[in-house]
Structure 1
Amino acid sequence: MTDTLFPFLIAALILFPIALGIYFSIEKQKILTSCKLPDSRELKNIYGTTVTDKGPLNWNLEFNTFDVLINDNSIFLFVKAYGFIPKRITNLLFSRSDVSHTKKPTLLREYKINHDSIQFIYYPRHLMNRSRKVTLQKLRPDEISMLEKVLNGKSRRSYDL
């Protein structure tokens, strides 16, 4: 019994990430065709981390690469694992008053801007009052100023002392 089950398990472990990558690639193309505006801006291959707070003394850290689509009312984060496998799509909405050109948005609660990084803090629905912090690192000064201009006055900015 285990001799016949083992090859199927190995095949499933190989094929599942491939199928997941194909699914999120198709979803990314759908979002780019339906939600991208003429004045949208894109950032490709941005390094960053995702920290998920799952409770006291329980958190998860992921190192990822991001593609970012910036609209006037939201930011799409296309998370890629290992630098090339599409893993997850997050839509951070600045305000619930304008939900046009979004897909399954999550409200951006606050952000922090440093000299070469920016951190987004939001609360996904499936985590029940637990936060997720996405930090985009190694950004150029023009990318920082563009994000700061888009975010100015749209969400709560937190300052480091």
Structure 2
Amino acid sequence: MPDNIFPYFIIVFFLFAIGKSVYYFIEKKKILKNCKQTNSIELKNISGTIFTDQGNKKNFEWCSFNLLINENSIFLFSTSFHFIPLKTTNLLFSNKNRKNTRKPTLLREYKIDNNSVELVYYPEYLMNRHKKITLENLNQEQILMLENLLDGKSRRFY
């Protein structure tokens, strides 16, 4: 038994990050293949944050996002530190149309500012708690596109 297990910890951490990245990219390819519609829009490398309020526990993460915007939902592919994938979030505009979605969560509210868009949803596993995703540093074209897409499909808060 070696005296120092720190090198093994580092090796396991890197293997875990590589394994998670491979799994994430395979899942992303499946989603893009199965859920992408003909009029879908893709936005890449958007910086943002994820804020989770779980009552007494609050989490804040800086992330980078790739978006796949369909007629009835938005897929957010998030990465942390710009290289370790976190997960895929599918925000659904309405429960009436679940076509081309994957484990969707209903988008409850949104807020559009001059250079950012804030999306609020309540995951099923977080009873009476919410998550906020803020997409930052968007250009005017992207903000107008998201505003037109979200108009009338969810509740806007100011």
TM-score bucket of the superposed structures, by smaller chain = over 0.9
CA displacement at 1:128 relative to structure 2: 2.2
Equivalent in the alignment of 1:142: 141
Question: What corresponds to 1:46 in structure 2?
Answer: 46
Residue 12 of structure 1 and its aligned partner are, at CA, apart by 1.5
| Structure 2 CA distance for aligned equivalents of residues 114 and 59 of structure 1 | 23
Which amino acid counterpart does residue 129 of structure 2 have in structure 1? R
> What aligned pairs does 1:63-82 form with structure 2 within 5 A after superposition?
63-82=62-81
How far off its partner does 1:37 sit? 0.7
Q: Residues of 2 paired with 1:95 and 1:2: CA distance?
A: 57
Equivalent residue number for residue 10 of structure 2: 10
Q: Which residue does the alignment assign to 1:108?
A: 107
DSSP-derived class of the 2:12 partner: helix
SS at match of 2:119: strand
One-letter identity of the residue aligned with 1:132: K
Q: Per the alignment, do residues 3 and 126 of structure 1 end up closer, same or farther by CA in structure 2, a change over 3 Å counting?
A: farther
CA RMSD of aligned residues (A): 1.4
Partner SS for 1:126: coil
Is 1:29 the counterpart of 2:29? The answer is yes
Is the partner of 2:14 in helix, strand or coil? helix
CA distance in 2, matches of 1:21, 1:130: 29
Q: Residue 132 and residue 2 in structure 1: after superposition, are their counterparts in 2 closer, same or farther (change >3 A)? A: farther
Mapped partners of 2:6, 2:81: distance in 1: 26
Q: TM-score, normalised by structure 2?
A: 0.94
Residues 104-128 of structure 1 show CA distances to partners (whole Å, capped at 9, x for unaligned) of 0000010000011000000112222
Which digits, 9 at most, give the CA deviation of each residue in 1:66-122, with x for residues without a partner? 000000100000001111332210000000000000000000010000011000000
Structure 1 unaligned runs (5+)? none
Aligned residue pairs: how many? Answer: 158
**Distance between the aligned counterparts of 1:101 and 1:89, measured in 2?**
14
Per the normalisation by structure 1, the TM-score is 0.92
Alignment partners' CA distance in 2, 1:32 and 1:16: 24
